[in-house]
Chains A and B, each alone.
Chain A
Amino acid sequence: MAPTKSKGKAKAAATKGPGLGTAPDGSTTHPGEAEAGVLPHPRRRSIRNDDGIGGFSRGRLHALLREMLLYRRFEEKAEEAYAIGKIGGFCHIHIGQEGLAAGAIKPLREDDLVITAYREHTQAIAKGIAPRAVMAELYGRTDGCSGGRGGSMHLFDTSVGFMGGHGIVGGQIPLGAGLAWAIKYRGGDQICVCFMGDAAVNQGAFLESLNMSAIWQLPVVYVVENNGYGMGTSFPRVSLTKMEDRSGAYGIPAHTVDGQDVLATFEFFARLADDVRNGAGPQFVNAVTYRFRGHSMSDPVSGTYRSKAEVERQTRERDPIVILRDRLMEAGLLDQEELEAMDSNVRAICDDATDFADASPLPAPSTLYDHVYAVTNDSGRLFFDGRDRRAAAPRSRPSESGPFGA
């Protein structure tokens, strides 16, 4: 998505790496360093509390924290792998927005559908794709969730209802409406959650989809991951209308949620998913968040479009992992030992994911022409690059898996 690409910058950023137990000191030159501080906790541990917070049990709270920590460590591994050339192409990192991946996707059922744009590694994991399969896809290997054909921007696994992974800004929004259309057509009680970035709301596809979803009352939730910037353009520069006012003209209720507060986000989406499942019709969610990294691995974290100070403040004050960690510790629901155990556990998963990706073979050259067409018709030529049509015609059939089967 970025016009330029510079692995050098990415390398400089990623090779610093997170330091376990190193407190953010504000003197770091790279704002990404600050989230290395998700582990140490400056305050004293309070009295142990087994009850939880609000409607969240201790186990659920730990699970949410662990999920977000997994996403963070996964993305850090992806940055490292990109820096050493294991991952190519465009690579959009979700660090800073983990609260939304966990908070909006974890409340869903396995057969609910999620479709999204290209900053989607952690969303794919949240919906149920194994970190191994995601990392192998980033590596372009045969065990990747898209067989190495999609890459970072095109992660898919229909068996867990993750419908991609789309690279054209806003292009997935009508698809999300169509998935919801199919649910309604079949009389199912699933819902579709369609994510997009804030810049996508200026695409015609957005307003056309919202309008159709409203007139046909489709079971779809449109979620704007509003991190404030479409690449390097802040939202107010490209919209006089506030985000929360974007859906009203189509008769779709708008909600705003703090995506950095995973508990609030989770509670909100659990309730909203129920409502939509029970016929509330399409919904629009302005989920306020912040991207701690550059637009993609080849883009600067700050510079002409946002200040270093802004990024550092956001990273210090609005890290969804730190926010939950502090709440749990203050409530006596988590101690340093548990946190470190959790972190070792997710780091091991991410190490395993990169080992797995490294060991996975590249796709066989003989598969180049696979899956261009689901059906190779008995007559006629489909390929025009000089390849003999009979040799070029593997009879591929779509997978039998997935929420709807074949």
Chain B
Amino acid sequence: MTELTYREALNAAMVQEMDRDETVFLMGEEVAEYDGAYKVSRGMLERYGARRVVDAPISELGFAGLCVGAAMAGLRPICEFMTFNFSILALDQVINNAAKMLYMTNGQINVPIVFRGPGGAALQLSAQHSQACETYYVHAPGVKLVTPATPADAKGLLAAAIRDDDPVAVMEGELLYNVKGQVPDGEYVIPLGVAERKRSGEDVSIITHGKMVHVALQAADRLSREGVEADVLDLRSIRPLDVDAILATVARTNRAVYVEEGWPFVGVGAQIVSLIQEEAFDHLDSPVIRVAQADVPMPYAKNLEQLAKPSVTGIIEACKRALYLPSGAA
């Protein structure tokens, strides 16, 4: 184990995979000479040269499509979006080409590509630079999605995404890049579709993914001081989805809260709630509650931004509602 930042762990995963597989290359804006807009690819140009670490023009649709085409020919591109906000320009290539190619070709052409970069809000970047794009990606069958919350998961899940034979989106957190944590040395791969229980409790389940794992854990600590023990589940992978782990935590606590950074309407949480009511209805003692971004574009002003984001207090309140406890401090 070595302590690495989340950013270093992502870099370690790419290096691990590019060392072992010549067909893997990295393409994106500022990934080479600039060392990455967020320095995730630091040193990679030097290590692999301009053939495998490639600065793209600001043409998200174009270079995402080029990477899909290269993957159709059997290469394994890592297509970095400076942020997933910009990848909305590339969604035709993701949805119409990457996701559907294997099906349309009757299994002749798979697309082993990784789309990665930061998603979600950072600090005061306002509406166009602060959004969670999970739903855009996982809505289409054919795409997989992982959302690492820790440095260890960043390494293991990105490595698994690169090795997977399907298109996998890896949504990172801009605010997570400096988070430190213990990361296994040597080859490390976490299978897709395996959630992780981050904290055990018997009173209420907080199910979440990505950056919100950290917010949920803070809320769980505060709840604990009030005598409420939360079971916190980090999905890690949205598609494939660890349904067994979700049903298990609901069976344990009989109450669930879903926390996500994205908007609530047809969000990831909506899918999870649907799944729980359909497959764990008899375990529920109260309605499943969702905590999400306020249903507004992200405002710039600090106070409004705070109001719009899912917060520790918002999660605490949601848990109390699920427990039929009075709101506010106990």
Contacts and interface: CB of A to CB of B under 8 A. Distances in A.
B107 A208 contact: no
Interface string A356-386: 0000000000000011111101111111100
Interface in B111-144: 112, 141-142, 144
B72 interface: yes
Q: In the complex, which of the residues A148, A157, A181, A211 has the most CB atoms of chain B within 10 Å of its own CB atom?
A: A181
B269 to A, nearest CB: 14
B106 A150 contact: yes
Interface in B96-116: 96-97, 102-110, 112
A370 to B, nearest CB: 7
B97 to A, nearest CB: 6
Interface string A164-178: 111110010111111
A86 interface: no
Given A212-B62, A212-B63, A182 B106 contact: no
Contact of B109 (A148, A156, A182, A372): A156
A165 B164 CA distance: 25
A174 B191 contact: no
A182 B22 CA distance: 12
Contacts of A373: 102, 141-142, 144, 166
Interface residues of A, number: 63
Interface stretch (A29-37, A272-280, A346-354, A396-404): A396-404
A211 B59 CA distance: 9
A405 interface: yes
Interface in B147-196: 164-166, 191-194
B108 A179 contact: no
Given A149-B103, A182-B70, A171 B65 contact: yes
Contacts of B96: 167-168, 171
Nearest to A188: B73
Interface in B236-284: 237, 239-243, 271, 275
Contacts of B57: 208, 211-212, 215
Given A182-B69, A209-B65, A380 B105 contact: no
Q: In the complex, which of the residues B106, B107, B194 has the most CB atoms of chain A within 10 Å of its own CB atom?
A: B106
B25 interface: yes
B69 A371 contact: no
A312 B57 CA distance: 46
A377 B240 contact: yes
Interface in A273-329: none
Contact of B243 (A175, A372, A381, A398): A381
A340 to B, nearest CB: 38
A393 to B, nearest CB: 10
Contacts of A183: 73
A212 B56 contact: yes
A200 B193 CA distance: 39
Q: In the complex, which of the residues B57, B71, B103 has the most CB atoms of chain A within 10 Å of its own CB atom?
A: B103
A115 B72 CA distance: 11
B68 interface: yes
B241 A157 contact: no
A379 B192 contact: yes
B61 A154 contact: no
B165 A178 contact: no
Given A171-B93, A377-B193, A147 B70 contact: no
Given A163-B109, A185-B25, A379 B193 contact: yes
Contacts of A406: 74
A381 B144 CA distance: 11
Contact of B74 (A150, A157, A405): A405
A205 interface: yes
B166 A404 contact: no
Contacts of A398: 102, 107-110, 165
B104 A154 contact: yes
A380 B240 contact: yes
Q: In the complex, which of the residues B59, B67, B73, B239 has the most CB atoms of chain A within 10 Å of its own CB atom?
A: B73
B74 A377 contact: no
B64 interface: yes
22 contacts: A113-B73, A144-B106, A147-B106, A154-B104, A164-B105, A167-B96, A171-B92, A177-B62, A178-B66, A179-B70, A179-B72, A182-B69, A185-B70, A208-B59, A208-B61, A212-B57, A212-B63, A377-B240, A398-B102, A399-B109, A401-B108, A402-B108
Given A158-B109, A164-B104, A174-B68, 10 more contacts: A154-B105, A156-B109, A171-B65, A174-B66, A178-B66, A212-B57, A212-B66, A380-B241, A401-B108, A403-B73
Interface of B: 25, 51, 56-57, 59, 61-75, 92-93, 96-97, 102-110, 112, 141-142, 144, 164-166, 191-194, 237, 239-243, 271, 275
- List the 10 closest pairs (A to B, CB-CB), nearest first: A178-B69, A380-B193, A174-B65, A208-B62, A380-B240, A147-B106, A182-B73, A175-B69, A379-B193, A208-B59
